[in-house]
Amino acid sequence: SFESRTAMTDNEQQASSIQTGNPVLHIDNVKKSYRNGKVVNPVLKGISFDINPHEVVALLGPSGSGKSTLMKCVNLLEHVDDGQIWLNGTDITDPRVNADNSRARIGVVFQQFNLFPHMSVLKNVTLGAIKVHHWPKDKAEAKAHELLRRIGMNEKTKAYPDQLSGGQQQRVAICRALMTDPELLLLDEITSALDPMLVGEVLDMVTELKERGTTILMATHEMEFAHHAADRIVLLQKGVITENGTPQEVMEESQNPDTREFFSHFR
Ligand code: ADP
Ligand code: MG
């Protein structure tokens, strides 16, 4: 935890940072099954990987391979059955660690239904900062205006979600997720529900966040984008990580027949 980290001496801290490399996210042997009566569906069968500061990691895999389940485990929307998830040195899967505090350190954008339809853009973007993080309204609105200005949407603050395109809605949802400078941004197929014409503007925003140093885990089927924008590709197939490497290593050079089969569908 943060407390125990600050209690360490400089030497101890140095030693631990050498051992762990201080990843933002450290996923250690996570297992997760869904149960329906006596039927057990093992979805994550021992998942381990790290995300380092400022890395953009693309989580790829067929539909149903468990990408969303893994992201929900990271965001504590689902419990892991086994293993740990560490966020900047905190084991957020430890039941003694406050889950709301951990969730508040992570920004999340889903495929759809991110915005409240009965609230203006400004209200949508500021709500969490005010209600969850207890920011004063004027501080939250100033930050929201700054984020919306960056994406050229400062004139849409009074608009309602249904007056925006799907691409604009997703970009507003990203602004909301960024309000309180999360340590990690989770993007779960944020372009999958969009008209193809609108995908580019959302992916351009992800590229801009990458350039600003945001640490991102994104599940996506946009292979071209993953290839040129991700620092690393993690491939999830049948509940296990089958690849973890650079886009070139995974998408071009892998000799694993399952990997080659997976990417052959996107050529
Ligand atoms: P992906 O995001 O890669 O498409 P998911 O994580 O959504 O995969 O789903 C992985 C598997 O878990 C699928 O077999 C799916 O049917 C199952 N699953 C997902 N969510 C639930 C749930 N809430 N209850 C039961 N089974 C689920
Ligand atoms: Mg999914």
> Tens digits of per-residue pLDDT, 55-91?
999 999 999 999 999 999 999 999 999 999 999 999 9
Ligand 1 pocket test: which of 41, 70, 242 has the largest number of ligand atoms within 8 Å of its C-beta? 41
> Has the ipTM of the complex gone over 0.85?
yes
End-to-end distance of the chain based on CA atoms, in angstroms?
45
Residue 265's pLDDT band (cuts 50, 70, 90): confident
Q: Cα(236) to centroid of ligand 1, in Å? A: 13
Confidence at residue 266, expressed as pLDDT on a 0 to 100 scale: 82
| pLDDT tens readout for residues 6-65 | 444 444 444 444 445 699 999 999 999 999 999 999 999 999 999 999 999 999 999 999
Confidence at residue 124, expressed as pLDDT on a 0 to 100 scale: 98
Q: Is the CB of 43 under 6 A from ligand 1?
A: yes
74 within 8 A of 186, measured Cβ to Cβ: yes
CA distance 174 to 32: 28
Confidence at residue 14, expressed as pLDDT on a 0 to 100 scale: 45
Look at 113 and 239; give whichever has higher pLDDT. Answer: 239
CA distance 150 to 145: 9
Return the SS3 of 188: strand
Per-residue pLDDT for 182 more than 90?
yes
* pTM of the complete model: 0.91
Ligand 1 pocket test: which of 30, 34, 238 has the largest number of ligand atoms within 8 Å of its C-beta? 34
Q: Which of 221, 261, 254, 172 is nearest to 58 (CA)?
A: 221
Q: Is the CB of 63 under 6 A from ligand 1?
A: yes
Span 165-183, mean pLDDT? 97
Ligand nearest to the CA of 67: 1
Span 239-266, mean pLDDT? 95
Please give the structure tokens belonging to residue 68.
């969303």
